[in-house]
C-alpha cells in the first residue's frame, strides 16, 4: 500500500495541514496568466518517513515556514500558495510515482525537492518532460541539474564539496593516507567519493583502498577490517547519517581511533543519537551552521524555533526555506505561474538574499555558496570553519 502524506494529513500528524487550511480565501488577483483568485499549488516530495526521515522532516519544516510567511505577507500575485506534500518513504522508485501525481492530479506549478540526489534524479526527468520547474534544496550531485533546463538547485555541488574535504584532510587534519568507504547504491556517495579522491590524490595524498557498501547495510566489519589492515590515518565516508553513524561505531569497536569524516549527508541529530561517543571528533562538510552570527541566520532560527517547538534548524531546513523563497520570487518576477515563464525567471535569479547566503543561479542552474565544516564535541555539533567557493 502506498502511504502518502495525504493520509498522514488526515491523521493530523504533520503541520502541512495548517498550510492547506490557510489557503481557502485569497485576495484579488494581481495579473498573471488566467488572473485567478485560486491558490497557487506548489508540490513538495520528501522522505517524511523511512530511512532518511530526518532529511524529509527537516526540509518539510523549512518549506512550510517559508510558505506560511509568504502567505501572511499577502501571497504571490495576490494569491496564496498552497503546499501539496507527498512522502516517498525514503524508498527508491517512489519519488517518480508521487511527482507524476503532483503534476497530473494536483496540477502543481513547481516542485520542491528532494534532499537526496538519487531521489531528485528520479523526479527530474518527469519535471523536465512536463515543463514544470523543480528546485532541489540540497542535492549536490552534478547530474541532478544536468537532467535539463527545468531543474535547479539552491546549493553548491559535489565537485566543490569534494575539494573542501580533500583540502581539510590535507591541511587541517594533516593526514596523507586515507581510505574511502562508498555507498555504491547512492549517486551522491559515488560522486562525492570520486571528487574527493581526485583532489586528494592530485594534491599528493594516497588512497590505498576504497571499500564499498549499499544503502540499508548494517554490518561494515569486513570493510573496516580491510581498512584497518591498510594502515590509514583517516576514513572518508561520503554517505548518509544512517550508515555513517553505524560505520563510526563499528570502526571504534574494531579499535580504529583515526578520524572519520564525510559530507553533508552526515547532517542529522540521529548521527549523534545513533553514533554516541563513536562520532566524537569526527568531521563533515555542510551548507550552513546555526552558530553563524549573521542577522539573516539569527532571525531564521528564532522564527523556526517558534514555529517548530523550539527546534534548531539544520542545513536541510535552511536550504529548503530558501528554495521556497526563491520560487516565490521567481513567480512574482514572471508575473505568471506558467512553467516556461517561471523557469525563465528562476534561471535569471541573481543575488537573492536568503538564510544560506545569496542565491545566484548560474548557466547550469546551480548555486555557488560557501561550505562549513562541523565537528562533534561533547555530544553536540560544533562549527569548525567556513570554506569560500
Q: Does 132 bind ligand PHE (CB under 6 A)?
A: no
Stretch that binds ligand PHE, among 30-38, 41-49, 137-145, 290-298 (CB under 6 A): 137-145
- Minimal distance in Å, beta carbon 16 to ligand PHE? 21
Give the DSSP letter string of 223-252.
HHHHHHHTT-SEEE--S-HHHHHHHHHHHH
Subset of 302-321 contacting ligand PHE (CB under 6 A): 315-316
What is the Cα–Cα distance from 372 to 280, expressed in whole angstroms? 18
C-beta closer to ligand PHE: residue 250 or 286: 286
C-beta closer to ligand PHE: residue 220 or 240: 240
- ∠ Cα 293 330 5 (to 5°): 80
Site string for ligand PHE, 226-245 (x = CB under 6 A): --------------------
- Minimal distance in Å, beta carbon 255 to ligand PHE? 29
Q: Give bridge partners of residue 183 from the DSSP assignment.
A: 213
- Minimal distance in Å, beta carbon 140 to ligand PHE? 4
Of the candidate residues 140, 197, 211, 289, the single one contacting ligand PHE (CB under 6 A): 140
C-beta closer to ligand PHE: residue 133 or 313: 313
Nearest residue to 52 via CA among 6, 98, 97, 89: 89
Q: Does 122 bind ligand PHE (CB under 6 A)?
A: no
Q: Does 188 bind ligand PHE (CB under 6 A)?
A: yes
What is the Cα–Cα distance from 7 to 222, expressed in whole angstroms? 41
Q: In this structure, are residues 340 and 359 in contact, taking their beta carbons and an 8 Å threshold?
A: no
E-strand ranges in 35-112 read 40-46, 81-87, 110-112
Subset of 141-160 contacting ligand PHE (CB under 6 A): 141
CA 151 to chain CA centroid, nearest Å: 15
C-beta closer to ligand PHE: residue 189 or 211: 189
- Minimal distance in Å, beta carbon 150 to ligand PHE? 19
Residue 356 grid cell: 544560506
Of the candidate residues 134, 139, 242, 289, the single one contacting ligand PHE (CB under 6 A): 139
C-beta closer to ligand PHE: residue 78 or 142: 142
What is the Cα–Cα distance from 241 to 266, expressed in whole angstroms? 4
Stretch that binds ligand PHE, among 7-15, 124-132, 134-142, 229-237 (CB under 6 A): 134-142
Give the DSSP letter string of 10-40.
HTT-STHHHHHHTTS------SSTT---SPE
Stretch that binds ligand PHE, among 1-9, 25-33, 110-118, 252-260 (CB under 6 A): 110-118
DSSP annotation of 216 reads T
Of the candidate residues 85, 138, 197, 289, the single one contacting ligand PHE (CB under 6 A): 138
Number of residues that bind ligand PHE (CB under 6 A): 15
Residue 72 grid cell: 501572511
The answer for residues whose C-beta is within 8 angstroms of residue 89's C-beta and 6 or more apart is 3, 47, 48, 49, 50
- Minimal distance in Å, beta carbon 341 to ligand PHE? 28
Site string for ligand PHE, 247-286 (x = CB under 6 A): -----------------xx-x------------------x
How far CA 81 is from CA of 48, 69, 76, 172, in Å, comes to 21, 10, 7, 45
Q: Give bridge partners of residue 82 from the DSSP assignment.
A: 41
The total number of residues written for the chain in this structure:
389
Q: Give bridge partners of residue 17 from the DSSP assignment.
A: none
- Minimal distance in Å, beta carbon 315 to ligand PHE? 5
C-beta closer to ligand PHE: residue 75 or 313: 313
Summarize as ranges the residues that interact with ligand PHE (CB under 6 A): 55, 115-117, 138-141, 188, 264-265, 267, 286, 315-316
Amino acid at each position: 500500500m502506498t502511504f502518502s502524506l495525504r493520509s498522514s494529513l488526515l491523521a493530523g500528524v504533520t503541520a502541512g495541514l495548517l498550510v492547506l487550511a490557510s489557503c481557502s480565501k485569497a485576495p484579488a488577483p494581481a495579473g498573471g496568466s488566467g488572473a485567478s483568485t485560486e491558490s497557487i499549488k506548489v508540490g513538495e516530495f520528501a522522505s517524511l518517513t523511512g530511512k532518511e526521515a530526518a532529511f524529509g522532516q527537516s526540509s518539510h519544516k523549512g518549506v512550510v515556514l517559508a510558505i506560511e510567511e509568504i502567505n501572511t505577507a499577502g501571497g504571490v500575485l495576490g494569491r496564496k500558495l498552497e503546499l501539496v506534500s507527498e512522502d516517498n518513504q525514503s524508498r527508491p522508485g517512489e519519488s517518480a510515482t508521487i511527482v507524476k501525481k503532483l503534476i497530473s492530479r494536483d496540477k502543481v506549478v513547481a516542485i520542491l525537492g528532494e534532499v537526496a540526489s538519487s531521489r531528485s534524479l528520479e523526479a527530474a526527468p518527469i519535471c523536465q518532460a512536463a515543463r514544470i520547474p523543480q528546485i532541489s534544496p540540497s542535492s549536490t550531485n552534478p547530474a541532478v541539474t544536468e537532467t535539463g533546463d527545468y531543474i535547479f538547485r539552491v546549493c553548491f555541488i559535489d565537485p566543490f564539496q569534494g575539494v573542501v574535504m580533500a583540502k581539510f584532510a590535507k591541511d587541517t587534519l594533516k593526514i596523507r593516507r586515507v581510505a574511502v568507504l562508498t555507498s555504491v547504491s547512492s549517486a551522491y556517495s559515488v560522486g562525492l567519493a570520486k571528487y574527493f579522491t581526485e583532489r586528494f590524490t592530485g594534491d599528493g595524498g594516497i588512497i590505498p583502498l576504497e571499500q564499498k557498501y549499499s544503502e540499508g547495510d548494517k554490518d561494515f566489519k569486513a570493510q573496516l577490517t580491510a581498512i584497518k589492515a591498510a594502515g590509514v590515518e583517516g576514513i572518508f565516508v561520503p554517505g548518509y547519517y544512517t550508515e555513517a553513524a553505524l560505520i563510526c561505531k563499528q570502526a571504534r569497536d574494531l579499535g580504529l581511533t583515526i578520524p572519520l569524516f564525510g559530507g553533508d549527508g552526515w547532517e542529522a541529530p540521529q548521527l549523534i543519537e545513533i553514533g554516541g561517543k563513536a562520532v566524537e571528533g569526527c568531521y563533515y562538510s555542510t551548507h550552513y551552521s546555526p552558530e553563524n552570527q549573521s542577522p539573516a541566520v539569527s532571525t531564521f532560527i528564532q522564527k523556526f524555533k517558534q514555529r517548530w517547538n523550539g527546534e534548531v534548524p539544520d542545513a536541510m531546513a535552511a536550504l529548503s526555506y530558501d528554495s521556497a523563497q526563491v520560487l516565490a520570487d521567481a513567480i512574482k518576477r514572471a508575473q505568471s505561474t506558467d512553467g516556461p515563464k517561471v523557469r525563465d525567471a528562476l534561471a535569471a535569479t541573481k543575488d537573492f538574499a536568503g538564510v544560506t547566503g545569496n542565491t545566484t543561479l548560474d548557466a547550469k542552474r546551480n548555486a555557488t555558496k560557501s561550505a562549513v565544516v562541523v565537528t562533534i564535541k561533547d555530544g553536540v555539533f560544533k562549527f569548525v570553519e567556513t570554506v569560500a567557493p
